[in-house]
Structure 1
Amino acid sequence: MGYILNFLLIAIIVLWVIRLLVRMIFPAVIRNAFGNMQKQAQQQQQQRSNRPEGSISIDYMPQKDKKKGNADKLGDFVDYEEVK
């Protein structure tokens, strides 16, 4: 019976310590993450404001596929007639 009480007492103390640590550490981690996101947003805003108005920038251009140009390999074209 004494082993069960010791286990429960230790488990309660460990859980209580973990709860206190989470209450102290979690808000600091969240504040740090939001601070980093805010800095990134400000940097992006500064980059956008440095460009003259009306300028266009392309961030990503997909590569052209050579397969799309081969219309001969797509198959035969069949005329469609509507039958009533």
Structure 2
Amino acid sequence: MGLIRFLIISICSLYIIRSLVRIFLPILFENAINKAQQQARQQNYYQQNQPRPDGKIRIDHMPEPKKSSVPDSEGEFVDYEEIK
């Protein structure tokens, strides 16, 4: 009797939780998406309203130069010559 009662309570609890998730999860996602869109609009508005002097170039991001896999202190490059 105890196992059947446990199974019934577990199934009912899972059903209730599943129903609540179906109701509230889309609302949470909608709020998160609206907030992200609002922040993007504010950032875009801020960038468009900044005065930029004519003829000036602005670099927002500059990638780091690639480093070689072997450091310069490891040795020298020697030309290879094949001897037959």
TM-score bracket, normalised by the shorter chain, equals 0.5 to 0.7
Distance in 1, matches of 2:63 and 2:77, equals 35
Match of 1:58 among 57, 60, 81: 60
CA RMSD of aligned residues (A): 2.9
- Deviation at 1:8? 1.4
Instruction: Report percent identity of matched pairs.
Output: 27
Distance in 2, matches of 1:47 and 1:30, equals 26
**Number of residue pairs the alignment of both structures matches:** 73
**TM-score normalized with structure 1 length:** 0.62
Amino acid at match of 2:6: F
Uncovered stretches (5+) of structure 2, i.e. residues with no partner = 65-71
Partner of 2:30 in structure 1? Answer: 31
- Deviation at 1:74? 2.8
Partner of 1:13 in structure 2? Answer: 12
**TM-score normalized with structure 2 length:** 0.62
